[in-house]
């Protein structure tokens, strides 16, 4: 197996594991094994939906951050810290220079595994919600 394929599969496995842990904690917090079948389907739908939404939003934040949208916040926080350090103003740089330096240092990484697994868990949560609605809600 190619090294690149192994790395990709490892990334997907880690993302799946994180989402499974999130789903497990949601299931555990709601008392899955002490409920009826209808409530258990609701709990499963909630668990998959919550983990899918969290990971999809995390993937969105990584994308926005990678495009440089949060560089301004880093610049402001850096200048606030430098204002309180002795001789911190000596290291002051213009925003344009700071942005150019940060964008040149940034590495473009593919975080599609986070989004893909998040959307899969989200779809499973929606499917379970539809099943619960069709089977138990209208009875």
Give the confidence band of 139 by pLDDT, cuts at 50, 70, 90: low
Nearest Cα to Cα of residue 124 among 7, 20, 15, 4? 20
Q: Which residues touch 116 (CB under 8 Å, ≥6 apart)?
A: 12, 15
Output 54 or 68, whichever has higher pLDDT: 54
Contact 59, 121 (CB under 8 A): no
Nearest Cα to Cα of residue 29 among 51, 57, 14? 51
Give the confidence band of 114 by pLDDT, cuts at 50, 70, 90: very high
Domain assignment of residue 46, given as a range:
3-66+112-137
- Co-location of 48 and 23 in the same domain: yes
Q: Kindly report the number of other CB atoms within 10 A of residue 114's CB atom.
A: 24
Q: Kindly report the number of other CB atoms within 10 A of residue 131's CB atom.
A: 13
- Co-location of 116 and 59 in the same domain: yes
- Co-location of 61 and 75 in the same domain: no
- Co-location of 101 and 125 in the same domain: no
- Co-location of 74 and 55 in the same domain: no
pLDDT at 126: 96
pTM: 0.79
Give the confidence band of 127 by pLDDT, cuts at 50, 70, 90: very high
- Co-location of 35 and 88 in the same domain: no
- Co-location of 85 and 118 in the same domain: no
Our count of domains for the chain comes to: 2
């Amino acid at each position: 197996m190619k090294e690149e394929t192994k790395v990709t599969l490892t990334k997907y496995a880690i993302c799946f594991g994180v989402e499974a842990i999130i789903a497990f904690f949601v299931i555990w917090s709601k008392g899955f094994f002490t409920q009826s079948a209808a409530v258990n389907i609701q709990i499963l739908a909630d668990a998959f939906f919550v983990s899918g939404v969290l990971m999809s939003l995390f993937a969105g934040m990584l994308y926005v951050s990678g495009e440089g949208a949060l560089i301004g916040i880093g610049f402001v926080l850096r200048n606030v810290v430098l204002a309180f350090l002795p001789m911190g103003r000596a290291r002051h740089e213009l925003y344009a220079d700071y942005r150019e330096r940060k964008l040149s240092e940034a590495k473009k990484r593919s975080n599609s595994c986070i989004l893909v697994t998040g959307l899969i868990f989200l779809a499973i949560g929606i499917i379970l919600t539809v099943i619960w609605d069709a089977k138990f809600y209208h009875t």
